[in-house]
């Protein structure tokens, strides 16, 4: 038999779901009239996403509302020696070219998988990335060494997408991640190495060899007011040769 004290203790440890729901509703309640007002105004004014985003950004600035800083994690990238071992473990030439392209252009793996051949402009050392992350279009720059590899690979091919399986379907993000995991395991590298890691390595190389933050953000598809200004007044052509030189430096 349980004592009265034990039974009381158990009661104190029980979560009352009704109380939880009530507390949640009370927490939301003061915001509901504001939300309803905003919904009416957005529908009335027919505001789009970008207009609404601008409104909240302006209100936040005028009210001095601090966004707060997210904790930043340091990313330990593979060394040059470890990368050489990783690429050395890749015997399939198409798989190797996939990772050469990721590390040589900074494309997201999803962008690479959906990249159609018609959007390649190798004569001008560039790709047109159509509707990348956030449905944004941008230009990716290709170094001469990678360009030569891609031109050789494309000879005689009738692909729709740059990289396709033997069944002529495009690679999925999941499939490229699996392939990368396979070669990482074969190479015995302990550090984190994913397709996205190769994008970090690309960005780091550009930074190390002197390309400034705004230009890197533009190339990576991290658009903000500063990168938009660079695009308008300078354009990719203003620093394309610098990027090509950096990517061909090794």
pLDDT at 139: 87
Catalytic residue among 138, 149, 184, 199: 199
- Top CATH class of 80-247 equals mainly alpha
**pTM of the complete model:** 0.68
Contact, 126 vs 142, CB < 8 A?
A: yes
Catalytic residue among 153, 205, 231, 240: 231
CA distances from 163 to 23, 90, 94, 197, 246 (A): 53, 16, 8, 20, 25
Dist CA 30 CA 40 (whole Å): 17
Specify whether 72 is catalytic. no
Nearest to 231 by CA among 241, 219, 242: 219
Whether 178 has a pLDDT exceeding 60, the answer reads: yes
Q: What are the tens digits of pLDDT across the range 210-241? A: 888 888 888 887 755 554 554 444 456 678 89
- What is the share, in percent, of the chain residues with pLDDT greater than 70? 77
pLDDT at 131: 66
Question: SS3 for 164-231, per residue?
Answer: ECCCCCECCHHHHHHHHHHHHHHHCCCCCCCHHHHHHHHHHHHHHCCCCHHHHHHHHCCCCHHHHHHH
Q: Give the pLDDT band of residue 56 (cuts 50, 70, 90).
A: confident
Specify whether 168 is catalytic. no
Specify whether 199 is catalytic. yes
Specify whether 233 is catalytic. no
pLDDT at 12: 46
Q: Which of 135-139, 153-157, 177-181 has the lowest mean pLDDT?
A: 135-139
Catalytic residue among 133, 168, 174, 191: 133
Per-residue buried b or exposed e for 112-131, using 16+ beta carbons within 10 Å of the residue's own CB: bbbbebebbebeebbbebee
Domain segments of the chain as ranges: 17-62, 80-247
């Amino acid at each position: 038999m349980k004592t009265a004290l034990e039974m009381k203790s158990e009661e104190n440890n029980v979560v009352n779901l009704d109380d939880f729901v009530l507390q949640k509703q009370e927490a939301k309640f003061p915001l509901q009239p504001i939300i309803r007002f905003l919904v009416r105004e957005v529908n009335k004014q027919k505001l789009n996403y970008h207009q609404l985003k601008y409104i909240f950004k302006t209100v936040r600035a005028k009210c001095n509302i601090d966004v707060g800083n997210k904790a930043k994690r340091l990313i330990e990238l593979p060394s040059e020696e470890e990368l050489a071992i990783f690429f050395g473990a890749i015997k399939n030439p198409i798989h190797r070219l996939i990772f050469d392209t990721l590390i040589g252009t900074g494309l997201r793996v999803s962008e690479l998988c959906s990249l159609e051949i018609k959007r390649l402009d190798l004569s001008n050392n560039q790709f047109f990335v159509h509707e990348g992350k956030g449905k944004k279009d941008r230009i990716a720059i290709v170094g001469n060494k990678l360009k030569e590899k891609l031109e050789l690979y494309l000879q005689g091919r009738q692909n729709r997408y740059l990289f396709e399986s033997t069944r002529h379907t495009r690679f999925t993000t999941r499939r490229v991640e699996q392939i990368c995991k396979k070669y990482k395991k074969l190479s015995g590298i302990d550090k984190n190495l994913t397709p996205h890691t190769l994008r970090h390595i690309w960005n780091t190389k550009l930074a190390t060899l002197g390309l400034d933050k705004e230009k890197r953000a533009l190339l990576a598809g991290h658009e903000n007011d500063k990168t938009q200004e660079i695009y308008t007044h300078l354009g990719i052509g203003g620093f394309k040769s610098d990027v090509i030189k950096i990517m061909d430096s090794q």
